Amino acid sequence: MNTKNNLKFQETDGKIRAAFLAALQKKKISEITVAEICRAVGINRSSFYLHYLDVYDILEKMTREVGEEIAGEIMGMHLTPRDFATGAYLPPVFRHMERRRDFYLLYFREMGTKDIETHFGELLDAVAKPFMKAAGIESERRIAYHFALYQAGVLAVVKKWLEWGCVETPEEMAQTVTSSIAAVPPEVSGADWEAFSQ
């Protein structure tokens, strides 16, 4: 019986995804058909539809899983507000994206950064907001402005790094980000760091 826990079902699912990613390297998603995925995997349409509605559904499900993975890794670090300023959370983020480089390159090309920005929003709520508020920034709009600038900078750097083959280590990239982008506004520079270590 074809269920999501069935080994054959899982193997077929993996082949469908691999065929989809291979096709996506050569053409836009709008040019990929279910028929060509089926031919590449050696299955019929009815088998494909046990897994996905269409090719867009493949990307949507893969995106959701990757997003949950990176969000889980970040939240699993049990970050403190101070970690936002030091960039302590960045090496795991870069390591995650390096492992999934092919997916992210294709995703950025096809979809931009909208869904990834949603997961950055979780970081804003969990870490950035408490840090900035503790530093005396009460305005939600000012916090959002600062974080929007930071988010855009990090994503721009990530995209370049992926495009250039991930030559630098995740640790080197984390240092690049923290030294290149003001992670926190100027008024935070004199903050009492002891307050964030409690």
Spatial CA neighbour of 188 closest among 120, 128, 140: 128
Helix, strand, coil abundance in the chain, percent, nearest 5: 75, 0, 25
Weakly modelled stretches of the chain, pLDDT under 50: 1, 183-184, 189-191, 193, 196-198
Spatial CA neighbour of 151 closest among 110, 114, 187: 114
pLDDT tens digits, residue range 135-165?
A: 778 888 988 888 788 788 888 899 999 999 9
Say what the pLDDT of residue 113 is. Answer: 77
Say what the pLDDT of residue 38 is. Answer: 98
Please give the angle made by the CA atoms of 140, 143 and 145, to the nearest 5 degrees: 110
Q: Is 160 exposed, middle or buried (0-12, 13-18, 19+ CB in 10 A)?
A: exposed
Place of tokens 């088998």: 47
Q: Which amino acid is at 106?
A: L
Other CB atoms within a 10 A radius of the CB of residue 189 amount to 10
Q: Is the pTM of this model over 0.75?
A: no
Say what the pLDDT of residue 154 is. Answer: 84
Say what the pLDDT of residue 31 is. Answer: 96
Q: Which amino acid is at 43?
A: I
Say what the pLDDT of residue 84 is. Answer: 67
Distance CA 162, CA 35 (A): 31
For the chain, what is the total number of helices (H) and then of strands (E)? 11, 0
Place of tokens 């995209």: 159
Say what the pLDDT of residue 56 is. Answer: 94
Tokens describing residue 115: 């869904």
Distance CA 143, CA 129 (A): 7
